[in-house]
Amino acid sequence: MRFVKWFEEIGAKDIALVGGKNASLGEMIRNLGGKGVNVPPGFAITAEAYKYVIEKAGIGQKIRDTLAGLDTHNMEDLAERGEKLRNLIAHSPCPKELEEEVRICYRKMEERFGRNVDVAVRSSATAEDLPTASFAGQQTSYLNVRGERDLLEKVMDCFASLFTNRAISYRVDKGFNHLSVYLSVGVQKMVRSDLACSGVMFSIDTDSGFKDVVYITAAYGLGENVVQGIVDPDQFYVFKPTLREGFKPIVEKRLGTKERKLVYKEDGAGTEQKGVKLDEQRKFALSDDEILTLAKWACIIEEHYGLPMDIEWAKDGTSEELFVVQARPETVHSQKDVASLRTYVLEEEGKLLLTGEAVGTKIGQGEVHVIESSNEIHKFRKGQVLVTDMTDPDWEPIMKMASAIVTNKGGRTCHAAIVSRELGVPCVIGTGKGTEVLKEVKEVTVDCSRGEGRVYQEKLKYRVDEIEVSKLPRPSTRIMMNVGIPDGAFVQGQIPNDGVGLAREEFIINSYIGIHPMALIEYPKLKESTKKDSNLAKVITEIEDKSAVYEDKREFFIDNLAMGIAKIAAGFYPNEVIVRFSDFKTNEYANLIGGYLYEPKESNPMIGWRGASRYYDDKFKPAFGLECQAIKKVRDEMGLTNVKVMVPFCRTPEEGKKVIEAMREFGLRQGENGLEVYVMCEIPSNVVLAEEFADVFDGFSIGSNDLTQLTLGLDRDSALVAHIFDERNEAVKRLVRQVIEAAHNHKPRRKIGICGQAPSDFPEFADFLVECGIDSMSLNPDVVLSTRLSIAEVENRIKSKGKRKRA
């Protein structure tokens, strides 16, 4: 066989012969099948075949002449020349020798899988799927191809697709000679994912570059809808370090809409789009076991290649088996210089126009240019913000000119997201209505720096912090972070830090759950009561809409709280992550769906039924049980034992003991498997009775906001007395010094840190804390680096003073 090789005959060393895609398929079949990774069989039509086609047709010089003097920024000229080249190759005759070899191999596949076996015909360029350039989506693939004649036609079309407009432009940008890049074609047995699901996964987080997770997307039908961003897929994150230890660390499951699916045409070859029933949309496309299997395969593939990987997978709806259908090196974060750290910080807040999913971690801004049709792309100008329904792969030439990109549709593994990432252009996808909202807006700022993608009106001030990691001092005082929103954890965790001193459950409950826990616990009773109370119908509808995936609504709360906590714990692993139990006030709890049914009206909720007082109270204790079960799931099932817990607003040591006992009732035992329980020091009684509190808890975290208002006897929410509120007040400082001394003098010594706002806002207060000998400071992420530098200076100054005194 001169022009065709079976996948079993090729491997990673054969990129020049069969292109990156086919070489990788052969490599996996030969080396990873024994490790459980399933790859569908097939054969590769080599780059030698492509060269032979060009040579036999005598069109090499015509190709050179057509490309001469091309300016890829001239969209109309690029399109005209690209079409001419594709027609030239597609309509060239297929040499008889090549045709015969392809027919022989296809017939062998028919012997194994049946007459007119369905195959995927995929382009595989010799300069494709390299560690430095993905060439993703530059050439064409065809699905559900049946019969020898159709196969041969699609092979010639694949050869022609070496000159798609986007491929020509991409090669110019990457510095590849057009005539030194050749095309191989892969012919692979189709996986019947049209009857099940498919998607893309990365062995690294695609936006933050966080290397310890596998990121998986899934949607019903064939995978093109996910790759091209036509549907909003389900999304999953799995934490690799504890997965390897045998745990089940699915740290995020996000339901996509999945409204359409690409399936086989009913009358034979080819594909068509179909709608997905609402009840199917409301289910995850993958089971937990399938998610974990795919994540394990991603780890195996990454370990074999020795670098982060971009992988396409599919599930066969007939056999129920999972398969890997492509694997290529990830080309963005694997190429980054990790010696320096660059973080984008938005310095002012403007009018928020849109939110969506963030691609990358940068901030971009510029004049808005809404493009609704591909006919308009030639009007786009360098430095503008591209706004469209969905960025088509053919638009790559203008994407590289954009300061930022905003789309209505798409998931984070769609082609548009991959290209934005590779180009380093901030992109917010899945806004739903970006083209509509931004139609009359002149300028915007696109912010991808905080996990969620946000689009603000006008150009806002921002800065870029860059520091060489090796030159960053490491002070004795531990510098930790305050974290609320899990979506930012993978970015924030890479900033040099000593863990999380305060992870607030309220943020997770608000954004991931939004329902009062007691309404979920009593859901069956409430549903029954709707027959008598029509006002409950709205509550029931909202609960069902938000928790449709779950029959047991309690599990909805436990799972989503657990995943929110786990995502933060994974981002900072193995450093300590202190999670504060819910500290909503009654008016805040009442704002949750169904909350008005369970919350009393208090004249001053700030000092009312909050924190520890709720946890052992029979009216709330079952809800606290859900929080305990979520923590237990994170630690025991996911293996994230770096999670510790903290009790807020604990007025007396006796209350502390009641909370510890309530935790025990729900299976969360202090000291078991290293579980430490901290208490917030935010009430003067916590300082006055510090010795007694230290007998109950493993450590303290000073909450300077509440401690200040309760020391000075003022409501910090009242504008009338707000001018008096100051954590630097001498009374507050004396209490802080006193409790630090008490914690350190206790036998055994107790750890004490601060998680209030003061050291973030006032550098001099941070200096004061160092002088008091505080163990740790937990700060807002945007001041961690600057505070770390200043704390190191303070410690050096204190050491110098000590040396001078001894001298």
Active site (catalytic) residues:
415, 755
Angstrom distances, CA of residue 338 to CA of 423, 466, 468, 495, 595: 18, 12, 9, 11, 46
User: Quick count: other Cβ atoms within 10 Å of Cβ 68?
Assistant: 8
* Cβ neighbour number for residue 520 with a 10 Å cutoff: 26
* Listed residue (671, 573, 579) closest to 242, CA to CA: 573
Q: How many CA atoms lie within 13 A of 367 on its CB side?
A: 7
- Residue of 316, 403, 320, 452 lying closest to 40 (CA atoms): 316
Backbone angles phi, psi at 432, to 5 degrees: 85, -45
Between CA 657 and CA 661 the distance in angstroms is 6
Side chain identity, residue 349: E
Cα 738 from Cα 731, distance rounded (Å): 11
Please state, as a whole number, how many other Cβ atoms lie within 10 Å of the Cβ of residue 800. 10
For the chain, give percent helix, strand, coil, nearest 5.
Answer: 45, 20, 35
Cis peptide before 524, with omega less than 30 degrees from 0?
Answer: no
Report which of 210, 577, 169 is spatially closest to residue 361, judged by C-alpha positions: 210
Confirm if 680 and 734 have CB atoms less than 8 A apart. no
Are 215 and 236 within 8 A, CB to CB?
A: yes
Per the omega criterion (within 30 degrees of 0), is the bond before 600 cis?
no
User: What tokens appear for 31 in the block?
Assistant: 């080396």
Alpha helices per DSSP H over 114-187: 148-160, 165-174
**Amino acid code (one letter) for 391:** T
| Nearest residue to 116 (alpha-carbon basis) of 264, 312, 262, 318 | 264
The residue among 798, 804, 799 whose CA lies nearest residue 767 is 798
Q: Which of 435, 368, 355 is nearest to 404 (CA)?
A: 368
Q: Are 211 and 253 in contact (CB under 8 A)?
A: no
Interatomic CA distance for residues 160 and 91, integer angstroms: 9
- Both tokens assigned to 400: 């590289």
Contact yes or no for 494/336 (Cβ under 8 A): no
Cα–Cα distance measured from residue 226 to residue 211, given in angstroms and rounded to the nearest whole number: 22
β-pairing, 643-647 with 577-580? Answer: parallel
208, 199, 2: which is closest to 101 by C-alpha?
Answer: 2
Beta-carbon count within 10 A of 544 CB? 14
> Which run of H or E residues covers position 329?
strand 322-329
Please report where in the chains the tokens 């995850």 appear, as a residue. 284
DSSP 250: E
- At which residue do the structure tokens 């289910």 appear? 283
Which residue type is seen at 609? W
Report residue 736 as tokens.
Answer: 């802080």
DSSP string, 545-570: HHTTT-SSHHHHHHHHHHHHHHHHHH
Give the pairing of strands 478-483 and 776-779.
parallel
What is the end-to-end Cα distance of the chain in Å, rounded? Answer: 87
d(CA 640, CA 238): 12
Calpha distance 455→449 (Å, rounded): 11
What is residue 447's three-state secondary structure?
strand
Q: What are phi and psi of 356, to 5 degrees?
A: -170, -160
